[in-house]
Amino acid sequence: MQKLKLNFNNTFRKELSADPIVESYPRQVQHAAYSEAMPIKVQQPKTIIVASEVAQMFNFTEEFISSDDFAQIFTGNKLIEGMQPYAMCYGGFQFGNWAGQLGDGRAINLGEVITDKHGSQTLQLKGAGPTPYSRTADGCAVLRSSVREFLCSEAMYHLGVPTTRALSLCLTGEHIIRDIMYNGNAAPELGAVVCRVSSSFMRFGSIQLPAMRRDLKLLTQMVNYSITHDFPHLLPQNGKGSDTESKAALISKETYLAWFNEICETTSDLIIHWMRVGFVHGVMNTDNMSIIGETIDFGPYGWIDNFDLGWTPNTTDSQNKRYRFGGQSVISLWNLCQLANSLVPLIGSVEELQAKVESYTKMYEQKWHKMMMSKLGLTANLADEKEETLLAKNLEVLLEEAETDMTIFFRLLATFDFSENEMNSTQISKILIQHFKPCYYNLEQLDDAYIEKLTLWMSKYHERFTLETYNDSDRALKMNKVNPKYVLRNYLSQQAIDKAENGDFSEIHRLHELLKNPYDEQKKYDKYAAKRPDWAKNKVGCSMLSCSS
């Protein structure tokens, strides 16, 4: 049996202000970045699944992974040498309103580990019990939300989307009372814990809370810590190699501006990735926005089946649709504006921050243009940006006009061979409908007017493609590298959850395996690339998700 020994450095605890109160009762925590928080003991820990690639980051052996020790440690029952559990203190804007202190209400960091190849990585248990930030909640998590967290974080990684990772998913042997749709129908559910992994779990709200409280000392600490550990390349050259305090002393206004600028860059990159693969986060509150530009906090998320820029999976947001698919770039800008406001005390003025915020929209539009051209298998040409953007925007209108499965459409577009199908053929409309038929949810919507628009768009697309130097086969290869065949559709997650709640974890393992190669054909998994079935269109867990999900 492997004797687990990890190299903890725990800089977050060592370098930032601590809550002086050790007890874990709900309270407002002032002038502190974190509070001590111990995981609760659970009855019967059981490991359901481990992401082997994440385990390898920590050199865990198969023998250790399959041991009872693993389940005990990664449900919080057992601590090893170097673990110093804590919960982070942060605030946030929720649905556009300042919510004050929030913090890790059901997440407990075990500590930061220095790995051989991946630098410092924090091990965090989600669902391991109450912390000072749990308010009236129990700090626990149920199986259904934990399955969704585990599968989605790993699916996002293999799609090439920046994300927190998931090491493990374990049952606790407990039953947790939850009201899944907040409608008065509370019921016991299986308890579970996910071990999440990231180089940093800091959020926009980590900076916003001390700023809103006018706690300049803590605000400075938090930003300096982030720069020093998450963005060390921004440090002045003569500060490298010295101790943390010396590095922090060299941080200037220019460093703060460069740090904010990089957060703008990585945030825009993240949203571009979400749009590329059809992911809707569902709750882009500022406490759910990662400082390092990772997808974090997988709650009421969803994947676009039929393309709809106005769709949100979050029942809490069903009326206003603040966090809808097509609104994610606007909300990312709004969130960055709130972060910029928090930095004014460090910068001393608003003009330079405002300039960076004002340039965000143009930066995002250029990245969106490049991304959409890659999805279409075309080489982006900024000289023709206006025409190319029009081609992409017209496609979005077309996809929304008839219920069109976004994921399947782009894979079918990749296989359409212009060399074998003349666009001026009298039969081209019939050929197109026959080719794209598998991606439509309602064939009755394909009337003459729609078919004419599809044919016109394909003609424009072909006209643009003729300017490229490669053939249809090369175009397909290019497109299939950025347009996945497999995504974690909500109904697939729900099927895995339904089986798991009855003791069958096979579907979790199967989804985890196939989603490791989302761009490959994987013929044996073809059924997982199919359209959303009719029964899932309005089913809880498949189309509608609450923040409890």
Q: Which of 226, 18, 169, 24 is nearest to 108 (CA)?
A: 24
Q: Which of 201, 149, 141 is CA-nearest to residue 177?
A: 141
How many Å separate Cα 98 from the centre of its chain? 22
- Characterise 464 by phi-psi region: left (phi > 0), alpha (psi -120 to 50), beta (else): alpha
**287 included as an active-site residue:** yes
Dump the DSSP string for 218-240.
HHHHHHHHHHHHH-GGGS-GGGT
117 to 53, 58, 59, 72, 265: CA distances (angstroms): 12, 9, 10, 26, 25
**DSSP SS3 for 22:** coil
The whole-angstrom separation of Cα 25 and Cα 496 is 35
Radius of gyration of the chain (CA): 24
Residue 250 token pair: 């060299």
Which residue bears the tokens 């299939």?
Answer: 480
User: Which among 95, 351, 354, 90 is positioned nearest to 204, based on CA atoms?
Assistant: 90
Strands 279-280 and 141-142: unpaired
The per-residue DSSP string of 480-524 comes to HTTS-S----HHHHHHHHHHHTTT--HHHHHHHHHTTSTTS--GG
Angle subtended by helix axes 216-230 and 328-347, to nearest 10: 120
Between CA 240 and CA 233 the distance in angstroms is: 9
Number of separate helices (H) and strands (E) present in the chain: 19, 12
Rounded distance, CA 153 to CA 158, Å? Answer: 9
Q: How far is CA 545 from the centre of its chain?
A: 16
Indicate the residue type of 63.
E
Report the alpha-carbon distance of residue 284 to residue 398 in Å, rounded: 27
Crossing angle of helices 216-230 and 204-212, in 10° steps, is: 160
Report the residue count for the chain: 549
Closest CA to 282 of 234, 255, 318, 251: 318
List 287, 297, 305, 317, catalytic entry: 287
- Residues serving a catalytic function are 287
